[in-house]
Amino acid sequence: MAKKTYFITGTNTGVGKTIATAALLEAAKEQGLTTLAMKPIASGCHQTPDGLRNEDALLLQNAMTEKLPYESINPITLEPAIAPHVAAQQAGKQVSAQRIVGFCRGNQIRPADLMLVEGAGGWRVPLNDRETYAAVPREMGMAVILVVPLQLGCINHALLSVEAIRADGLNVAGWIGNHPEAEPMECEQETLSYLSLHLKAPCLGVLPWIEGKPDKDLPKVLRKYLNVAPLIEN
């Protein structure tokens, strides 16, 4: 059974959750740890001879140490690149927290030192008309890692996200700062200092913007900026 399991969320969509997750996997691999990863539901999938595939899920598959079939990593594939609950409605698929929990537990029983489950969008992204994705880590009691994009407004978004996570009874195991754009934000160091003081969770690292590298190569480059020790020692 996976010794440690964490849920990766972001303050919003497009903040770098997948790159951060894959970089954590690579950092753990460098420490000699065995890893598993999932992106249970993914929209924006493309047709291939093997069926629908998602680039983010493929990135995680490439970064983790243990072998899983694609369908175990990304069991719910949705073609339109829109909000998952809308994409599921358009595809005529039923998505529920309990179904996703079942997929996660199916992988969690496999032996590994670390398992990472990447969510979709932010903490309250809908799964259907009744549930948000937050119901999944809440049901499983997973500690959460928050990815924060270093851009204007990130302090407010990060504080609100952490407040919601803790209100749901879950621990924030750490946070990762990410540069989603080449241009650095103004007063970045002041922002990082404020987040470090007020999020009351360890900063696992700050990922720089790297120009010209294909996504598939980024996790290995970025792993040196992350510290996985707090995730293993907790």
Residues counted in the chain: 234
How far apart (Å, rounded) are the C-alpha atoms in residues 54 and 42?
A: 7
Residue 54: alpha-carbon gap to chain centroid: 14
Catalytic residues: 39
Alpha carbons within 13 angstroms on the beta-carbon side of residue 211 total 2
Contact between residue 171 and residue 200 where contact means Cβ atoms under 8 Å apart: no
Which two three-digit tokens encode residue 192? Answer: 């990082």
193: Cβ contacts below 8 Å, ≥ 6 apart: none
Contact between residue 171 and residue 36 where contact means Cβ atoms under 8 Å apart: no
How far apart (Å, rounded) are the C-alpha atoms in residues 21 and 186?
A: 26
